[in-house]
Structure 1
Amino acid sequence: MTESFGTTAPHRRVRVWFGAHPIADHTAVADQAAQYEEAMRRRFASLRVTSEPVLVTTATPAEMSR
């Protein structure tokens, strides 16, 4: 069995947090994610907003079904 290594994709995951609980979760291409992040920061100024790269695995479909 071969190991799968993660690489970043041109997508980002933006989340709005209320304490330890995400109340909004959105994944989009980088430029759209940046616009969404900006809008969420304006709307929820007192909450934490994170933006992280989406991790893509390089596993084959057969390896993923195991």
Structure 2
Amino acid sequence: MTETLETPTTHFRVRVWFGAHPIADHTATADQAVQYEEAMQRRFASLRVTSEPVPADVVARPGR
């Protein structure tokens, strides 16, 4: 998890992948994202789980 000073990160996008297809996609605050990522890794142990920072300006936009 990397954060830059230019684009502060307040949320993370956690996805569970079945091959090249995301089967779960969840955006949450940093603390909640860590818990969700850990839960998904336990539940889907054989699948890839990723967590990516979401810039604050993207989270604040309506309709996303």
Band of TM-score, shorter chain: 0.7 to 0.9
Identity %, equivalent residues: 76
TM-score (norm 2): 0.75
Deviation at 1:55, TM superposition (A): 2.4
What is aligned with 2:30?
30
TM-score (norm 1): 0.73
For structure 2, the residue ranges without an aligned partner over 5 or more in a row are 1-5
For structure 1, the residue ranges without an aligned partner over 5 or more in a row are 1-5, 62-66
Moved over 6 A (4+): none
Which entry has the higher C-alpha Rg, 1 or 2?
Answer: 1
CA distance in 2, matches of 1:19, 1:55: 26
Residue 41 of structure 1 aligns to a residue whose secondary structure is helix
- Map 1:1-66 onto structure 2 (within 5 A): 7-57=7-57
More strand by share: 1
What is aligned with 1:3?
none
After superposition, the CA RMSD in angstroms is 2.1
Q: Is the 8 A contact 1:8 1:53 kept in 2?
A: no
What is aligned with 2:3?
none
How many pairs were matched up? 54
